[in-house]
Structure 1
Amino acid sequence: MDADAVVVGAGPNGLVAANVLADAGWDVVLLEAAAVPGGGVRSADIAAPGFRADLCSAFYPFAACSPILSGLELERHGLVWRHAPAVLAHVLPDGRSVLLHRDPLRTAESVEQFSAGDGERWLVAYAHWRRLADAVIETMFTPFPPVRAAGGLLRRAGSAGLLRLGRLMTLSVTELGQELFRGEGARLLLTGCAMHADVGPDGAGSGAYGWLLAMLGQQFGFPAPEGGAQALTDALARRLRSRGGELVCGARVTRVVVGHGRALGVLTDDGRAWRARRAVLADVDAPSLYRDLVGAAYLPPRLLADLEVFRYDRPTVKVDWALREPVPWAAGGAELAGTVHLGGDLAGLSRSAAALAVEDDPEVPFLLTGQMSRVDPTRSPPGTETYWAYTHLPRRLSGCDRDSAEIAAYAHRIEQLLAGAAPGFADLVIGRSVQGPADLANENANMVGGALGGGTAAIAQQLMLRPVPGLGRSDTVVDRLYLAGASAHPGPGVHGGPGANAALAAIARARPVTGGLYRTVIGTGHRLVYGPHRSG
């Protein structure tokens, strides 16, 4: 079969890439190995019938702020966003909680209870964010280097302000919290948000992630699609088909066909060949694309060497429950939040991350949990709750599945922690499902070893260093082949950035007048970074 573009992988980035190309008038075919599209954005009744659970991602602050997704107008294709009464709660061991609301005054009231003056400090920090938010968001989602977007950020912040912002972004979230606030409440909101990624609270750059996610939660909330994460995937798929794009599931790509240094198409495991007249875009992790689908014969030795030190983010274990009643939190206010963090105070969170850093089991794991029926009552029968929790694991457990003793032990510890924070929790369980790292990888091959982010969020693998030291763009060393997954800048999160950037790069390369110049510039950059190319 022939098409202008073949897109590999129907995760959110692959779906976005295919939609952007279809909007440009391209003939697009999207190939997905699984029986249904979505990758990490899928739903099913896995704990009990009638309890709709999200198989991986559940809340979407990046989707809410993404100019890419908003530009696709997915609401016209059936997508409905839902919000819980409160965005986020962090439950402390002593029974207190701090809450992030979409109303900044209510957030300020909550953090004020931990230290006088922190309420006003929160409002000042949020006002600073709002002055910069549009420019920061544009900079995040613009292909690297974001020249125009960075110019807008400079105009908003001024040169001195931009330097101070740059300094803040290099801080650990522990240091950032200490500089901005006096009490534990506001610092816990930042730190818990930072720990959504795989960088500990004392790691360089973790402050940027914690600040960004907390401020996005304050401005946009942590919304979820009505009916489950699958509704977001379904809206993207319906939109693609309405533009004439073709989505083929059960088609596992085994090889990117390369000739004379150019991507010509792909082969699938059923023996079919799919010719790409203009481009191949791959929503897969970087090592799998280069090593498995392309092959070493077509790659510079320097790139192959850099891939040897590519780091995935940490593996995870996820537990889903069907509950006959909502979670009976001892901490007042936690019942209002869609997302709930627990697992200690600030010192406890640092101890948990430090244990993982030395590949040990945390005494008290940090839990990220979701009360989905609180956000969206369609997820379960009236009066019940669809609930989940996950935590990061030592890397030694990346190959373990739900049947292993190690994963069973972690699931037990998670439930013990919940029982302490919500007495009577165990008595409410109707059904339960556990996914270990290997189970997550089986659901979605991009979740290598149970890693959710397509590569670590550590500062050494961001911007022009993502996925390896290079240009920080979706272009690859193979002409007309583009990396469209979370291994590419701007990285993990359901926002469509890597997919849209890859599609725009393919469109720019295919322009009859400027395409040759575009490839000359990109090719020269790659040769400077990686050395001579191979043609196979």
Structure 2
Amino acid sequence: MADAVVVGAGPNGLVAANMLADAGWDVLVLEAQPEPGGAVRSDRGVHPDYVSDLCSAFYPLGVASPVIRALDLERYGLRWKHAPAVLAHPLPDGRSALLERDPGATAASLDALGAGDGDAWLRLSGLWEEMGDAVLRALFTPFPPVRAALPLALSARRAGGLRVLRSLLAPVRTLGEQEFAGPGGPLLLAGSALHTDMFPESTGGSIFGWLLAMIGQRHGWPVPEGGAGELTAALVRRLEARGGRVRCDAPVASVIVRDGRALGVRTASGEPVRAAKAVLADVSAPALYGGLVAWSDLPGSLRADMRRFTWDHATFKVDWALTGPIPWTSPDAARAGTVHLSPGMDAMTDYSGQIATGRVPSEPFALLGQMTTADPARSPAGTESVWAYTHVPHKVKGDAGPDGITGAWDERERDAMARRVEDVIERFAPGFRDRVAARRVIAPPAFAEHDANLVNGALNGGTAMVHQQLVFRPVPGLGRAETPVAGLYLASASAHPGGGVHGGCGANAARAALAHASPAGRVLTPALRSLTTLLAP
């Protein structure tokens, strides 16, 4: 028995476990995989001399998150490393838009691409200086952000009030066209927004693009020294120092529910594990509702809501071990940890439209990570550990390219799509292929082999679109970690505030469990459950 059982040792599950252990709870984390970490893991599977990150790699939200910062993981071995520049978006003519940690340097890069664009960028940076801290406090606290709401409202009013809100709610294409003369600023913002499943024309895309870009400018987009798995290792070490336990190779088959309350879990081997106070599920909403918890223990309306649950896009990823640095046409691209590859905004719209209509993009928008540039420990001196990923439809209806990809993702289709991604890199870095010593291809179905939450490589636990955020995440309700089952809390990226390695979803679940276990919480729990039912009957 434990006070709390956490299902899943991904970053949210480990953050939740740490917070409960800090409160003096006895915490047991059960993980299905042979090692903890979920999407935050690394290996030497591409080449024995190269460290490769399996899924996630750069952690701007992690280094900016008040939740992660409060855990003081540096005391447990975590070391952040930064590339010389944060982000580059090279252009076909060899120039490049460059995001740096110095706003003035970023502005100079954009001025070279469009007269006056440096000043436009500094205006957006000024908004962040005014609002950024309040935005982060509001983002990473339970919804509604009661304590953070007033400071956020005051800072937004000082920054321009409704006019600022209108700009940030606009599609990122619209914001780019209104603020900039040249291509650089719009591409930095749009590429950042495309880390989600937002299109350049999606309402609210500007918020995501602005948020990630400004966090990068303030905090960088760092990587853990030695590999993504070092972030996980620090979380585990911290938890174990407080008496918490992590059991791997222990998949959970079901949550044990009696009289509307979670009493514990049952593992796939049939072992019951009692939770005296709470069960926290760092699993996707579809895996929890109707999966670990039977529909007979849930309200009928939830089943109908879950039929409308929307995943974010599927992902196709390639890792490479290179014998030398990428031979970029643009020198600035060689300085950046992350490189966005697309010839322009229209191409990004075409790519997004092809995904929306179920077609594999003919010209993939590729997000590329130069890991040795960011962290020299990743590969031998003079070489580079590199990955790139792009999005594809979950259900492939056709191929906008020439290869007849059907979504079977057999060896032929994996190789064809990997060549398509390499073609994109080759156009910006002729000779790239000549430096490939080894390659690993991860097609959409393979992501779930590493982490069951990553269905077809949906990295964000569900779409980032407005219709599935805040009070709509994962279904209409209060936008909180509580579930219809007392003592059971959703701790994954399917809950508010959503995708990204920031720990906010796990922290919200831990706060909810602690609150409901208190004397006041035991009184208020029935009222909260009634209110949830009233708002989402």
The answer to whether TM tops 0.5 is: yes
Indicate if the aligned counterparts of 1:402 and 1:435 stay in contact, CA closer than 8 A. no
SS of the aligned residue for 2:5 comes to strand
Indicate if the aligned counterparts of 2:369 and 2:386 stay in contact, CA closer than 8 A. yes
| Distance across 2 between alignment mates of 1:252 and 1:529 | 34
SS of the aligned residue for 1:292 comes to coil
Task: Report the alpha carbon displacement of residue 402 of structure 1 after superposing the two structures with TM.
Answer: 5.8
Moved more, 356-365 or 326-335: 356-365
In the alignment, what sits opposite 1:238?
237
Indicate if the aligned counterparts of 1:397 and 1:437 stay in contact, CA closer than 8 A. no
Moved more, 126-135 or 78-87: 126-135
Deviations 1:12-70 (A, max 9, x none): 00000000000000010000000000000000012111100000000000001100011
Q: Which amino acid aligns with 2:443?
A: G
Deviations 1:303-337 (A, max 9, x none): 11000010111101100000000100011210000
> In the alignment, is residue 296 of structure 1 matched against residue 295 of structure 2?
yes
In the alignment, what sits opposite 1:488?
495
Indicate if the aligned counterparts of 2:171 and 2:201 stay in contact, CA closer than 8 A. yes
Q: Tell me, which stretches of 5 or more residues in structure 1 are unaligned?
A: 532-536
Judged with a 3 Å threshold, the aligned counterparts in structure 2 of structure 1 residues 509 and 68 are, in CA distance, closer, same or farther, namely: same
For normalisation by structure 2, the TM-score amounts to: 0.96
Q: Which amino acid aligns with 1:144?
A: F
| Distance across 1 between alignment mates of 2:40 and 2:256 | 28
Q: Which amino acid aligns with 1:525?
A: L
In the alignment, what sits opposite 2:165?
166
| Distance across 1 between alignment mates of 2:158 and 2:523 | 33
| Distance across 1 between alignment mates of 2:394 and 2:200 | 18
Candidates 466, 469, 476, aligned match of 2:476: 469
SS of the aligned residue for 2:46 comes to coil
SS of the aligned residue for 2:369 comes to strand
In the alignment, what sits opposite 2:38?
39
Task: Report the alpha carbon displacement of residue 401 of structure 1 after superposing the two structures with TM.
Answer: 7.2
| Distance across 2 between alignment mates of 1:388 and 1:400 | 21
Task: Report the alpha carbon displacement of residue 114 of structure 1 after superposing the two structures with TM.
Answer: 1.2
Indicate if the aligned counterparts of 1:402 and 1:439 stay in contact, CA closer than 8 A. no
Q: Which amino acid aligns with 2:51?
A: R
| Distance across 1 between alignment mates of 2:176 and 2:150 | 28
Deviations 1:201-241 (A, max 9, x none): 11111111111111111111100000000000000000000
SS of the aligned residue for 2:189 comes to helix
**Matching of residues 35-114 of structure 1 within 5 Å:** 35-114=34-113
Task: Report the alpha carbon displacement of residue 349 of structure 1 after superposing the two structures with TM.
Answer: 1.0
Task: Report the alpha carbon displacement of residue 194 of structure 1 after superposing the two structures with TM.
Answer: 0.7
In the alignment, what sits opposite 1:264?
263
> In the alignment, is residue 426 of structure 1 matched against residue 433 of structure 2?
yes
| Distance across 2 between alignment mates of 1:160 and 1:401 | 50
SS of the aligned residue for 1:351 comes to helix
Deviations 1:240-260 (A, max 9, x none): 000000110010000000001
In the alignment, what sits opposite 1:479?
486
| Distance across 2 between alignment mates of 1:44 and 1:180 | 42
Q: Which amino acid aligns with 2:514?
A: I
Candidates 516, 524, 527, aligned match of 2:533: 527
| Distance across 2 between alignment mates of 1:70 and 1:455 | 25
| Distance across 2 between alignment mates of 1:148 and 1:291 | 34
| Distance across 1 between alignment mates of 2:117 and 2:322 | 36
| Distance across 2 between alignment mates of 1:434 and 1:363 | 18
SS of the aligned residue for 2:29 comes to strand
| Distance across 2 between alignment mates of 1:402 and 1:354 | 21
Q: Which amino acid aligns with 1:67?
A: P
Q: Tell me, which stretches of 5 or more residues in structure 2 are unaligned?
A: 398-405
Aligned length: 529
Indicate if the aligned counterparts of 2:322 and 2:437 stay in contact, CA closer than 8 A. yes
In the alignment, what sits opposite 1:534?
none
Indicate if the aligned counterparts of 1:261 and 1:479 stay in contact, CA closer than 8 A. yes
Report percent identity of matched pairs: 53
Indicate if the aligned counterparts of 1:400 and 1:436 stay in contact, CA closer than 8 A. no
| Distance across 1 between alignment mates of 2:168 and 2:158 | 15
| Distance across 1 between alignment mates of 2:407 and 2:37 | 23
Indicate if the aligned counterparts of 2:414 and 2:443 stay in contact, CA closer than 8 A. yes
Task: Report the alpha carbon displacement of residue 400 of structure 1 after superposing the two structures with TM.
Answer: 5.3
In the alignment, what sits opposite 2:347?
348
Task: Report the alpha carbon displacement of residue 530 of structure 1 after superposing the two structures with TM.
Answer: 3.8
Task: Report the alpha carbon displacement of residue 418 of structure 1 after superposing the two structures with TM.
Answer: 1.3
> In the alignment, is residue 254 of structure 1 matched against residue 253 of structure 2?
yes
| Distance across 2 between alignment mates of 1:356 and 1:402 | 16
Candidates 502, 516, 523, aligned match of 2:509: 502
SS of the aligned residue for 2:377 comes to helix
Indicate if the aligned counterparts of 2:82 and 2:375 stay in contact, CA closer than 8 A. yes
Candidates 456, 460, 464, aligned match of 2:467: 460
Indicate if the aligned counterparts of 1:84 and 1:376 stay in contact, CA closer than 8 A. yes
Task: Report the alpha carbon displacement of residue 94 of structure 1 after superposing the two structures with TM.
Answer: 2.4
| Distance across 1 between alignment mates of 2:9 and 2:339 | 30
| Distance across 2 between alignment mates of 1:407 and 1:6 | 38
Deviations 1:486-514 (A, max 9, x none): 000000000000000000000000002x0
Task: Report the alpha carbon displacement of residue 170 of structure 1 after superposing the two structures with TM.
Answer: 2.0
In the alignment, what sits opposite 1:27?
26
For normalisation by structure 1, the TM-score amounts to: 0.97
| Distance across 2 between alignment mates of 1:219 and 1:417 | 30
Indicate if the aligned counterparts of 1:99 and 1:333 stay in contact, CA closer than 8 A. yes
Task: Report the alpha carbon displacement of residue 169 of structure 1 after superposing the two structures with TM.
Answer: 3.0
